[in-house]
Amino acid sequence: MSGAENYVISGPDLLNLTTEIFVKAGLGREDAGIAAGSLVEANLRGTDSHGVIRVENYIKRLKHGGAAANVKCRLVSATPATIVLDAENGLGAVASRQVCGLVRDKALKNNLAFGVVRNSNHFGAASMWALLLAGDDLISFVGSNVHRLMPAPGGKGAAIGNNPFALAVPAGRYEPMCLDMACSVVAQGNVLKYRHDRRQMPEGWFVDSEGEPTTDPFEALMVLPFGGHKGFGIAVIVEMLSALLAGGAFADNIGSQYDDLVNPNRLSHFFGAMRIDAFRDLGEFKSDVDEFIDKLKAVPKKAGVAEIFYPGEIEAARKKANLKSGIKLPRSIVEELSEIAAELKVEKTMIAPLTARPV
């Protein structure tokens, strides 16, 4: 490995390597490809926090029993428009890929469909599933609960996860609209960066052990919901649509994905979809979405701002660029992946592309 701080690897090479890592960790090749694909897709879209940085945690969970490698989703119940699956503690991406296909089929036949999954694990970037489910003709809405990590308004203990969700809407000339967010102001992990740099954090991000606002990263205990009680309320609703509707675990029955590698995470997800042409002509809808975006971009901009973006536009542009130029990974991730791959006895020719292009 050279002294470079960053390396560039092509999307296909990173997908091959990550797939092989999951195969060596015990997943069937198809499931391994799905799990790897969901992580590499996040890197392609520039949302690196949900990319291959997660491989280490997934592998540790598979090794220590926190997640199961060779399981199949169990059908709990279904109607023409609905489905309930139990992921049997498999990887969230594997269950999500399956339920997206089932919900999409149901929505195409029934105009609307809604599926839920329980006993699952981290499902990666919500946008991955929203875009897959929506395709070219549906509007989709997906989400997941996670362990409690944010306070309620008035509370000083962890009350609710920052429950991520995403919605996708196809456009015509433009790439699909895709809104993807967690219900916290920022990611919980930010506090580590500020501790490392010994810098004060911006106001409004974190609270201390008494539930009072703090900018001191060493006092910071919990990240706040975005928009105060509004973000808190949305997180609660995501919990209702996922865990409560799926009959899954909630509140103190969900452990931390990172702090507890031994016990199942017991996350729940939801996947809803609507067929646009049940409401109006699909072409006219898409043409209106294009016009909406055109008008958004035509609004006067602040000094120094070149363009106004619609939800998901920046990520779609990054994917196009990264498919061409490759994915940039920091040295720390490259080393981590190399070690994991070597330990699992992945062939050296598959690991080599990680360090072939230092930048």
Q: Helix 11-24 and helix 331-343: axis angle, to 10°? A: 40
- Residue 78 or 359 with smaller CB distance to its own copies: 78
Looking only at residues 325 through 354 of this chain, which bind its own copies when binding is defined by CB under 8 A? none
Tokens linked to 75: 């059908």
Of the candidate residues 35, 62, 99, 113, the single one contacting its own copies (CB under 8 A): 113
- Contact set for its own copies, span 187-206 (CB under 8 A): none
In angstroms, give the least distance from the CB of 210 to its own copies: 7
Residues contacting 107, CB < 8 A, separation 6+ = 113, 138, 273, 274, 275
CA 217 to mean position of chain CA atoms: 25
Q: Does 79 sit near its own copies (CB under 8 A)?
A: yes
Instruction: Select from 196, 197, 259, 302 the one that contacts its own copies (CB under 8 A).
Output: 302
Q: Does 82 bind its own copies (CB under 8 A)?
A: yes
> Nearest Cα to 102, choosing from 90, 92, 113, 88?
113
Asked if 157 is part of the footprint of its own copies (rule: CB under 8 A), the reply reads: yes
Answer yes or no whether residue 57 interacts with its own copies by CB under 8 A. no
Q: Choose which of 4, 10, 24, 81 interacts with its own copies (CB under 8 A).
A: 81
Residue 95: name the closest of 269, 315, 276, 214 by CA.
269
Interface with its own copies (CB under 8 A), residue from 29, 173, 280, 348: 280
Q: Which of 196, 197, 252, 345 forms a contact with its own copies (CB under 8 A)?
A: 252
Q: Which of residues 26-55 bind its own copies (CB under 8 A)?
A: none
- Determine if 173 is a binding residue for its own copies (CB under 8 A): no
Please say which residue, 69 or 169, places its beta carbon nearer to its own copies: 169
Which is nearest to 42 in space by CA: 123, 133, 119?
Answer: 123
Cα dihedral across residues 163, 245, 126, 130: positive or negative: negative
Q: Which stretch binds its own copies (CB under 8 A): 13-21, 191-199, 254-262, 279-287?
A: 279-287
Of these, 3, 300, 324, 349, which contacts its own copies (CB under 8 A)? Answer: 300
CA distance 150 to 161: 6
Give the x-and-dash track for 207-246 against its own copies (CB under 8 A): ---xxx-------------xxx-xx-xx-xx-xxx--xxx
Beta strand 112-120 with 82-86 is: parallel
Token representation of residue 153: 């308004």
CB of 331 to its own copies, least distance (A): 30
Among 1, 75, 296, 323, which residue interacts with its own copies (rule: CB under 8 A)? 296
Q: Which of 49, 173, 218, 279 binds its own copies (CB under 8 A)?
A: 279
How many residues make contact with its own copies (CB under 8 A)?
Answer: 75
Decide: is 177 part of the binding site for its own copies (CB under 8 A).
yes
Give the number of other CB atoms < 10 A from CB of residue 18. Answer: 28
**Phi-psi sector, 127: left (phi>0), alpha (psi -120 to 50), beta:** alpha
Q: Which residue, 3 or 154, has its beta carbon nearer to its own copies?
A: 154
> Parallel, antiparallel, or unpaired for β 177-181 and 165-169?
antiparallel
Give yes or no for a contact between 168 and 175, defined as CB atoms under 8 angstroms apart.
no
